Amino acid sequence: MRTIEIRIVNTSDNPLPEYATNGSSGMDIRAYLTAPIGLKPMERTLVPTGLFIELTESYEAQIRPRSGLAIKQGITCLNSPGTIDADYRGEIKVILINLSEEEQIINSGDRIAQMIIQKVEKVKWVNSDSLNSTERAGGGFGHTGK
């Protein structure tokens, strides 16, 4: 697996994003709060992380939910996966929503999402009057059955 270097500024007192295991694809990122957030059922909020990154051109960072947070507390990310473009230099913030039936508390330092770094390819559109046919053609949205 190839490793790339990415510049990061961490204004929080949390550790840098890190892989939980050698086989992990995503790095856990943590909330950076001055006070806990009480998130009521179906309420959403923008959670700061204190992290700023400088991605290499042709890469993006994707912000995705943490499965443990989703199953245990009903908290997930909206706009998922969220995309951080290579030219963005602002603070990484995560949109969280509480899908449980009880208020959930988010504390500073809580692992709230995971970040995955992906290579991005640029496309050049080629205008055409037709497309090659396939067996599937225009079938979609459950066209193959249950």
**CA pair distance 54, 68, nearest whole angstrom:** 28
Question: What are the domain boundaries of the chain?
Answer: 7-119
What are the DSSP E strand ranges found in 22-109? 27-30, 37-39, 44-48, 51-54, 59-64, 75-77, 82-84, 93-98, 104-106
CATH of domain 7-119: 2.70.40.10
pTM confidence score: 0.88
E strand or H helix at 70, and its extent? Answer: helix 67-73
Residue 146 confidence class, pLDDT cut points 50, 70, 90 = low
Residue pLDDT, tens place only, 4-30: 999 999 999 999 999 999 999 999 999
